[in-house]
A and B are shown apart, each in its own frame.
Chain A
Amino acid sequence: MLVKFLSGDLPRSRLLGLVLAAIVFGLLLAPFLFSGARPLNTAATICIYIVLVASYDLLLGYTGIVSFAHTMFYGIGAYGVGIALASVEEPTWRVVLVGLVLALLLTVALAFVIGLFALRVRAIFYAMITLAVASSFAVLASQLSDLTGGEDGRTFSVPELLSPGFTLMENAVFGRAVDGRLVTYYIVFFGCALLFLFLLRLVNSPFGRVLQAIRENEFRAEALGYRTVVYRIWANVLAAVVAALAGALMALWLRYVGPKTSLGFEVMIDILLIVVIGGMGTMYGAVIGATLFILAQNYLKTLMGHASEALSGVPMLAAALHPDRWMLWLGVLFILSIYFFPIGIVGKLRMRGFIAKR
């Protein structure tokens, strides 16, 4: 039954399975396992990033397309919901829906046009074009500041069910007040779970196998009769839609949208790092990678801060360990992963499992 649930894509490694189970249960029970706002925020971010990176893995790992426009769709989803809620007096579910639908329409249209236009050219061209389009979009977003709030972004209220003040039950459950935050968290969690399972289904279906065939040898796939352009456009659109939905969930969670959190190039780099370190073309790589990354981002930086202060006598070293230089170490880890770890964490764990079995 578990096999069907996971669309036939089992972890294939005992250790991997254990880690994944731990992550899933940790996220499921997060509000009750940890107290305080920060852990919950971390958990929600992990959920959303898992979906965001998994949707990118659909493009990169399964279809072999390098695109830098992924955060653009994430941002469209977030801003769609955010702008809609910010523009009305009464935040209702109807408003959320309208914002979401408009965002999705824009997403599909853009993904389709970009795919149509750019997928006919070579991969490198496509990568550069998506980079150009995404950065122009970001510039546009910060310029239309009346709508988008420019650099500062916009805050807004969410429907009553989700607002922190709302209480669903009188008594606390396991020490956690059942308030709007909790409700929002579970909407995020289950929403992300559904999206992830959808992606898993997709990559294990005949459609997914054609994508992988295209990644391996496009010429042969075309010769076998598959119109590769059609498949790649579909992959592009689907990945974009999932990213937009992830963005919408993030907007609901944060009750804020802004270019740094949604459209910035930093997010794109984060996604790339996670997908490479976690393992491309595995889906589960997104789970492990996102968890490790977000945890590190939140908690490792503090550690770096302490280390930096401790080493304040050695200026270069102190500067290198300063929490702001978090990206330096990430970048080094990224490069090392590509060389020595090309199959990522999931790939390595699976290989171990495979070798152990023989």
Chain B
Amino acid sequence: MHINEPSHDWNRTVSASLPITKDKDAPAAAPDTPLPASRPDIAPLLLVPLLALAALPFMSFPTWVTLSVAGLAMGMMIFIMASGLTLVFGLMNVLNFGHGAFVSVGAFSATLVLIPMRNWLEADSLAANLGALGLAVLLAMTVTAVLGWAFERIVIMPVYGQHLKQILITMGGMIVTEQLINVIWGAEQVPLPLPTALRGAIFLGDAAIEKYRLLAVVVGLCVFAAMFLTLNRTRIGLLIRAGVENGEMVEAMGYRIRRLFVAVFAAGSSLAGLGGVMWGLYKETLTAAMGADITVMIFIVIIIGGLGSVGGCFIGALLMALVANYAGFLAPKVALVSNIILMIAILLWRPAGLYSTSRG
């Protein structure tokens, strides 16, 4: 090996004193750099339309429309509930097995507004109905955001990095929350009838589309759009996306990422609260166990989507809901296990879910 005096190579190629023109004169910075292929991953995006089209031949068109809207509505609600969980996991590597608690708390807190404001709900005016719902949702989201903040500081922070303890403790948290709901609101179911203007269906030809479901789809799309824009167009979104990959490096760039964690946790919890209100209205009853009941579906959705991926969660939720609705019509017995079958099918195709973040 000879002692290579670098300076003479240097003079030939790069000259630091002429910054701008270099671009044209110099060869590519290193000879072996073809333009990197930037192929976006579109296969998962096709799954939902493909599924819908695949179901079409098996039923009449009006039925297909009704079921598809039902599926979309249900999927949107589940997405809203699950999105917070997957984001929290991706960012903080914390799995909150008690996420369902925020769903229940959200729904029950909404009753604090909806029951006194019954008149607004019973009035046959969309504005009044939406107004009351809006207030209820605002309260539910505030309560769950605060509860989420407290939960993160008190329950989760002491067990950061210890997955086993996290699983156990968050489960404990959910049990305690469910029981506290029983203590505060009583152990019976609470009926929650739909507001008058949102009852019933509109008809597109022969197809019946329930009004409430349309609202759910609209809300779901808005939430998704808001999340998408925040993640991709704002600085906070940039921080979150970078933090999901390498929190330490983000800190080394001067950002206090711990505060961001707490904020994301609270936001995720409040989304679950929103989902809870919507789900409660969908089912028209509230039980303290509703959060626990839906936990399995939420988990399946985020497994399908890939832990940490909001887009994957969206697709996963829609897929699961559509499959459940189509199967419910076509083969009711299968419908019960359709969730599991879907999960297994997706995992066989992509073992880490549809979109996995680098940590997956």
Q: Which A residues form the contact surface with B (CB < 8 A)?
A: 60, 64, 66, 117, 120-121, 123-125, 127-129, 131-133, 135-136, 139-140, 143, 265, 269, 272, 276, 316, 319-320, 324-325, 327-328, 330-332, 334-335, 338-339, 342
Contact = CB atoms under 8 A, between A and B. Distances in A.
A124 B307 contact: yes
Contact of A338 (B165, B178, B296): B165
B172 interface: yes
B175 A334 contact: yes
Nearest to B159: A338
A327 B183 contact: no
B183 A319 contact: yes
21 contacts: A124-B95, A124-B307, A127-B97, A128-B303, A131-B296, A132-B340, A132-B343, A136-B337, A316-B184, A319-B182, A319-B184, A320-B183, A328-B175, A331-B172, A331-B173, A334-B172, A334-B175, A335-B169, A335-B176, A338-B159, A338-B165
Interface string B321-354: 0000000000001001101100110010001100
B179 A328 contact: yes
B201 interface: no
B299 interface: yes
Contact of B173 (A132, A140, A324, A335): A335
Contact of A324 (B187, B333, B340, B347): B187
B155 interface: yes
Interface in B139-189: 155, 158-159, 163-165, 167-169, 171-173, 175-176, 178-180, 182-184, 186-187
B167 A124 contact: yes
A342 B165 contact: yes
Contacts of A64: 164
Contacts of B159: 338
B300 interface: yes
What are the nearest 5 A-B pairs in CB distance? A328-B179, A331-B175, A331-B176, A335-B172, A128-B299
A136 B336 contact: yes
Nearest to A342: B165
Contacts of B336: 136, 139-140, 143
A127 to B, nearest CB: 6
Given A133-B340, A335-B172, A325 B183 contact: yes
Contacts of A320: 183
Given A272-B168, A272-B171, A316 B340 contact: no
A139 B89 CA distance: 28
Contacts of A325: 179, 182-183
A139 B175 CA distance: 21
A133 B187 CA distance: 28
Contacts of A125: 303, 307
B317 to A, nearest CB: 15
A338 B183 contact: no
Given A131-B296, A143-B333, A269-B171, A328 B95 contact: no
Given A120-B351, A140-B337, 12 more contacts: A66-B164, A123-B163, A128-B303, A129-B343, A131-B296, A132-B299, A140-B336, A143-B336, A276-B168, A316-B184, A328-B176, A328-B179
A2 to B, nearest CB: 33
Contact of B339 (A120, A132, A269): A132
A128 B347 CA distance: 13
Nearest to A333: B172
